[in-house]
Structure 1
Amino acid sequence: MDPVVFLFALLQGLIQYPPPVGDGLDEETHWRMEARAKYLEWERLRLEQQVEQLSQKKMPHLQLLAVAVLLALVNDVVNGAALAENNNDNDVANVVQEEDNNVDDRDGQDIMERIQGPVQDLQRVCEWITDLLDNYTICFGHVLSDSFYPVLHRPIGVGSAFEGWSPREQDVVYRVLIPMTPPRGHSFHLELDGEGQRHVRNFRVRVQLECTCTRQQQGENMLCFLHSPEEELRSNQDPSLLDTLCTDSYLDVQKTALWFRQLVKAIWPALPQSHNWHLMLLPSRRSCQFKVTNGEESFRIEMLFGVWRGDSAIFVSSQPREAYTLSTAWPESYAVAEAEFFKYIARQAPPDSLHLKCLQFFSRLVLGFSFSTYTMKTIVMHLLIAMPASSWSRGHLRERLTDIRDSLHICLRQKCLQHFIVGNRRFPQDINLPPDVRMGRTYNLLHHLAQQPAAHTQAMRDYRVLHKTFKRTALGEDD
């Protein structure tokens, strides 16, 4: 639909059916008003993104001006309705505020008791794993100091466990990303693979030899790969990275994973943890996965590899995002930026914030349905950035859980959920992103629902079942 026509239709609906205000509203009417307000807020955010995208497409000036004016009118209608309702409720709210706070707090406590599941001490385990990997990092530095393999840096905790939540307490994968930089005499150059789909950006890491004749002249124990005789190189120096972990001058993920697995196994006996824990390597083609056990506890760890995009929080990593990924393809990863976002929220949120509890509850609730836990994580991240941090306390727990449920419903109906980082102008400026990620064109995580009617039908069917489960487990309501 043409954006102008759509906005006219939306504006007409708002004018013809304004949200009711006034005293004496029953509970059902209040619920409808709240749902309508949430829907309009999501529409407003989506329209803002459309205006930015249309402006980048260089629309005719008159059409773009019309879109902007209509969006301003929509904002006025939404804000005006909210202001009218707020003014109408202020007098009553001031009288009963203290009583409502006590009721909401007790209500939140009741909900917490219903949704509380068996909680593993994620923070304690993450700290133990961080200590283990720090010991590994020290050994990596000693073993690889004079080699021409990638330089391995301190691992970065990513994924649900290091963010403070987990959908599966009994099957947690503690995932870390290990940044790599080129060894002496080499350089990395990222090349975007244009053959991939628009919503999956794959890169290739081209390895290039650099002249080190100056170092050789200064007495360093290294021959220049570019200008030293081949016979001298073969006799006196280890092979270059091009000859060990590359395929056609590009860093190979599978070769890197195999080399790293061998390194992890060889170093394990030198670590202090090896005296009380047992290491078991697990099969993996694009990462190093292993399990450590001590007879009482067992932790599964996955070590991914990544190359920085500049000095940003975006990497190209070994973790695949498609069913089949070429061994020289390194998909763009937002895992570190997402982990940084949760740290940013933790600094802003009050001590009693329950946003992680909300995310953990919904990530478990959707298990077995057609919605991914990443879908729920994305919805919660959008809500965290749209609402003040103070609104995630126990007294607001029922409202926030309901917001997440309603947001999922809206996304499924519209078959649209925008990626949280790519093209999100509201993403915190404190977290460094490459310009093409921050200002790029966002994409729809639910695009498959628009392309596959059967999948959308199944998703709506799953939502109806999930809605009943939500009412029973979170709100304590029977059908």
Structure 2
Amino acid sequence: MQAGFLRVCLVVVAAIVNHPLLFPRENTTLQESDKEIIQKLKKHEENLKIEQLRLEQEIARRDAEINMILEGKEENKLPWDFWSTISMVIFLLIEIWRQDFQDGHLQEPNNEEDDMSLWGNIFQAVSLPNKTALATFYERVIRSTTNDAARTREFVEGFADDLLEALRSVCNRDADMEVEDSVGVGSMYENWRVNKPLVCDLLVPFTPPEPYRFQSEIWGSANSSPEDKQGYGKIKVCRPGEEATGCICDKTKLGEDMLCLLHSKNNETKLNSEMEVLLCSKNTQNLDTDQVMKWFQIAVTKAWNKISHKYEFDVTFSHLDAPGALKIKFRSGKFITLNLTPVVQYEDSDAYFISHFPNSGLPNDFSSGTYWLLSFAVYERRFLTEMAKRLPENSCHLSCLQILTFLHQKQSALTGQSGLTNYHLKTALLHLLLARPALDWSFEKLDARLREILKYLEKSLHEKKLYHFMIGNGSLPASICLPETFLVAEPLNLFRQFVLHRSIYKKTMDSFYEMLKNASVLINEYTLHNRFEPYGIAV
């Protein structure tokens, strides 16, 4: 019996010691391509199974003998069945652990840590164009694209003013919104738009008719928004005489002979029905993004019908998932696109609640329902204007952004959209503009600054952290005049979606490094293609 017991123990110890998970060798990283190691593991597994089968037969053969022996043993000694059970349990655990290890680790080719180590070495191996090639590319391709940007802006602004004036005239002044003058934002007004067609983005602030008013609420206020809605806010339509906390008649007990003229049944129906059904979410006083979009599209259509006879071109909606994505098509076949987007001003600042903004580089569905995203586009344009005054003449900061957006757009056409957007590229530039001395942005350092922005983006992607430039940035110049509320707020991570969605993250990283590898080829190809076409770019 003792010999059999020792034999069982030796087999168990041998199985444990030789198991690759419990006692790993010097290199436990098993590559799928390492056939020799995999073959050894399979052979080892087969030997274990043979030994296990032999052991089970040995145990079965001795069952009768063990039972007879156990009958004559003292009660304080452990029965032989106990040791047999322990042996079988240990083998079972080892087998389960081995299967889990093999299925979960050895056969997982897309382990994120392995990807990270692979990705981290790619940038060092990428050869970006030199200073001369970049300068030539910029002059022949980028600069030629923006020659007519000023004329496009001038035409669009004039047309937008005429269209909004017509819109005001067709609106119901008692129930409709009051529309203010448009505000130009985005790449066309910051002078870094590259890819055609040239698109102008115009914000159109609107307010409710008297005596209504808007009451805005941002994240971090008394009624906080959910964690995933940081950067968003809600807009409440306050009825006449009503504060955000409610009418005074809700707090004061009125006498039997007294009546609240604002909230009597008759007046309540008359005052609330048109306004709240038109723009608010059902059974609430909160502005709904889709309701506002429908209202604005109908209003723009009426306005164009009123003035269309004055123009010799056609205007249509280029797509219906944005309030005012318009396409102006001339008889010659050429066209101009613009985005008129209704927004609500946040208090007395230049920050605006925005529902849809297709060319901001943000997802089309970034706002939904009663949650509106805060846009700091006016402040970003102001910051770039301020920095331009401090930087050397003919600085390279916008040139870097133009080259990056060009490469990104071409890569997106090849491999599809990823989680990286033009807005992320712009945010990286803004952070580096604030951190670097002004002299470092001379045009002679274009290649160095371009490489630095790419390395900054790579670092941010690896860490899955790219903070919003305006929110929580206490280093902003005082001349920007950003409200204190946003300066002291918690920083907003624009890459938070990568933490939540691993598949999007992997596609973004693959696309980013593919863009780096294709950069030299694309730049050389477009430079040569435009060698004899100094006034245009093939798109």
**Given the two structures, how large is their TM-score scaled by the length of structure 2?**
0.58
Q: Where do 1:416-455 residues align within 5 Å? A: 416-452=465-501, 455=504
Aligned CA distance change for structure 1 residues 475 and 430 (closer, same or farther; 3 Å): farther
Question: Is it true that 1:306 corresponds to 2:343 in the alignment?
Answer: yes
Q: Aligned match of 1:290 in 326, 331, 335?
A: 326
Residue 388 of structure 1: how far off its partner (Å): 3.6
Q: Distance in 2 between matches of 1:394 and 1:185?
A: 54
Q: Distance in 1 between matches of 2:331 and 2:476?
A: 44
Q: Where do 1:50-89 residues align within 5 Å? A: none
2:350 alignment partner AA? A
RMSD after superposition: 3.5
Q: Distance in 1 between matches of 2:377 and 2:173?
A: 31
Aligned CA distance change for structure 1 residues 462 and 123 (closer, same or farther; 3 Å): same
1:182 alignment counterpart: 208
1:152 alignment counterpart: 179
1:266 alignment counterpart: 302
**Which string of whole-angstrom CA distances, capped at 9 and with x for unpartnered residues, describes residues 17-68 of structure 1?**
xxxxxxxxxxxxxxxxxxxxxxxxxxxxxxxxxxxxxxxxxxxxxxxxxxxx
Question: Is it true that 1:338 corresponds to 2:380 in the alignment?
Answer: yes
Q: Aligned match of 2:227 in 197, 205, 215?
A: 197
Aligned CA distance change for structure 1 residues 285 and 404 (closer, same or farther; 3 Å): closer
Q: How many residues align?
A: 359
The answer on whether the counterparts of 2:230 and 2:492 sit within 8 Å (CA) in structure 1 is no
Question: Is it true that 1:380 corresponds to 2:402 in the alignment?
Answer: no
Q: Where do 5+ consecutive residues of structure 1 fail to align?
A: 1-103, 213-223
Q: Where do 1:357-372 residues align within 5 Å? A: 357-367=399-409, 368=412, 370=418, 371-372=420-421
Question: Is it true that 1:126 corresponds to 2:162 in the alignment?
Answer: no
Q: Distance in 2 between matches of 1:462 and 1:229?
A: 60
Question: Is it true that 1:136 corresponds to 2:163 in the alignment?
Answer: yes
1:251 alignment counterpart: 287
Q: Distance in 2 between matches of 1:445 and 1:324?
A: 12
Q: Distance in 2 between matches of 1:153 and 1:270?
A: 19
**Given the two structures, how large is their TM-score scaled by the length of structure 1?**
0.65
The answer on whether the counterparts of 2:323 and 2:342 sit within 8 Å (CA) in structure 1 is yes
User: What SS is found at the alignment partner of 1:299?
Assistant: strand
2:295 alignment partner AA? W
2:240 alignment counterpart: 210
Question: Is it true that 1:396 corresponds to 2:425 in the alignment?
Answer: no
Q: Where do 5+ consecutive residues of structure 2 fail to align?
A: 1-129, 243-259, 358-362, 526-539
The answer on whether the counterparts of 1:398 and 1:475 sit within 8 Å (CA) in structure 2 is no
Q: Distance in 1 between matches of 2:473 and 2:354?
A: 21
Residue 203 of structure 1: how far off its partner (Å): 2.1
Where relative contact order (Cα < 8 A, 6+ residues apart) is larger, the structure is 2
**Which string of whole-angstrom CA distances, capped at 9 and with x for unpartnered residues, describes residues 250-305 of structure 1?**
22332322222222222225448842221113442552222111123311222211
Aligned CA distance change for structure 1 residues 392 and 265 (closer, same or farther; 3 Å): same
Q: Distance in 2 between matches of 1:311 and 1:290?
A: 29
The answer on whether the counterparts of 1:253 and 1:286 sit within 8 Å (CA) in structure 2 is no
Q: Distance in 2 between matches of 1:412 and 1:327?
A: 30
Aligned CA distance change for structure 1 residues 141 and 464 (closer, same or farther; 3 Å): closer
The answer on whether the counterparts of 2:145 and 2:194 sit within 8 Å (CA) in structure 1 is no
1:405 alignment counterpart: 454
Residue 338 of structure 1: how far off its partner (Å): 2.0
User: What SS is found at the alignment partner of 1:430?
Assistant: helix
User: What SS is found at the alignment partner of 1:302?
Assistant: strand
